[in-house]
Amino acid sequence: MKYSVGIDIGKTKINFILLRNWRFVKGQKVFTPRSRKQIIRTIEDNVKNIINNIPKRDILGIGLGIPSPLNKKGDLVLNPPNLRSLKNCPLAKIIEKDLKIKTRMENDVNCFTLAEAVLGAGKKEEIVLGITLGSGIGGGIVINNEIYRGAFGSAGEVGHMTIKADGYKCSCGNQGCFEEYASEKFFKRKSKLLPEEIERKAKKGDRKSKKIYEEFGQNLGIGLTNLINILDPNVIVIGGSIAKAGSLIINPAKKEVKKRVLSPQSRKSVKIKVAKLGEFSGAVGAALLLK
C-alpha cells in the first residue's frame, strides 16, 4: 500500500485528501487561518490526523497546492495575492522538516490541471489545458501527465492575456485582460446578483440572465480560441466556481471556438469539458505530485 497526502491551500479554506495507490480514500476541509505560523500549524495537525495509523514507510509524501506563482525550482512561494502571509515562504521545506515526510509544492491551478489530466476529464489525453474560472482566471498546462512550467516557472498565466487592448482596466495594470471578461469580474459589472443567482434565473428562463451567461460564454470562447491557436491542446478542462454553470457557459464558448479557431483540424477535434473531480481536485493534483 502506498499513501500520499494532497493539500490545496485556498484563500478561505484548506482541503486535505488522502490517496491510497492513487485512489481517493478520504477528504477533509478547514478554514484558512491568517498568519503563516497558524497556517503551518493547521497543515501539520491535519496531516497527522489524516495519516493517523499509517506506518511512515507506506507514505510517499505530501503535496501542496499553492495559490501563487512559485520560483522555477518550485521550493519558494513567491507572491500569493490572496495569502500575503506566505510571501517568500519555503513552505514545503518547513513541513518536510517538521513532519519528516517528503513534501512537494506546486501552483494550485497546475495541481487542478494535473488531477484532471491524470484522473479526470482529461484522462488519456496528451495535451491538457486546465482553466479555472473564479474571482480571476487561472491556467495550467499538462503534457503527457507532466506539468509544463515554462522557463521561469510561470507558464499558463492565461487570465492576463489581453483580448481587448482598449477594454476595461485590470488590477494588473493592463487593459482588456481575459479575466475582465470571463470571471466573476464580468458578473459584477453586469449585475448586482451573485453568479449563482443569475445562473438560477437563467435556468428558469429569465431572458436577461440568459443573455449575461451567453455573453460570458462568448468572451470565454474568444480567450479559449487564442489558447487553441497557440497551444493546440487535445482537451480544455474548465473548472472553478463558475464552471458549475455547465452548458450555460460551455455551449456559447464552444460555438465561438468553432467559428474562430484557425486550423480546421483543431477546430473540429479539440474537446472542451467541465472538470470532473469536484472541489477536491486541487488537493488530488497536489497528491499526484508524489507520483
Taking CB under 8 A as the binding criterion, the range among 13-21, 44-52, 153-161, 245-253 that sits at the site for its own copies is 153-161
- Smaller CB distance to its own copies: residue 6 or 159? 159
Give per-residue burial for 165-199: e unless 16+ CB within 10 Å, then b.
eeeeebeeeeebbbbbbbbbbbbeebeeeebeebb
Asked if residue 162 binds its own copies (CB under 8 A), the reply is yes
Asked if residue 55 binds its own copies (CB under 8 A), the reply is no
Question: Which residue among 85, 145, 229, 251 contacts its own copies (CB under 8 A)?
Answer: 229
Rounded to a whole number of angstroms, the minimum distance from the CB of residue 286 to its own copies is: 21
Rounded to a whole number of angstroms, the minimum distance from the CB of residue 207 to its own copies is: 24
**Amino acid identity, position 24:** F
Q: What Å distances lie between residue 48 and 24, 30, 62, 288, CA to CA?
A: 18, 14, 11, 19
Asked if residue 145 binds its own copies (CB under 8 A), the reply is no
For 79, other C-beta atoms within 10 Å of its C-beta total 12
- Smaller CB distance to its own copies: residue 6 or 156? 156
* Measured distance CA(167)–CA(96) in Å, rounded: 45
Taking CB under 8 A as the binding criterion, the range among 109-117, 146-154, 242-250, 282-290 that sits at the site for its own copies is 146-154
Question: Which residue among 167, 241, 244, 291 contacts its own copies (CB under 8 A)?
Answer: 167
- What would the grid cell of residue 287 be? 497528491
* Measured distance CA(124)–CA(128) in Å, rounded: 10
Site size for its own copies (CB under 8 A)? 50
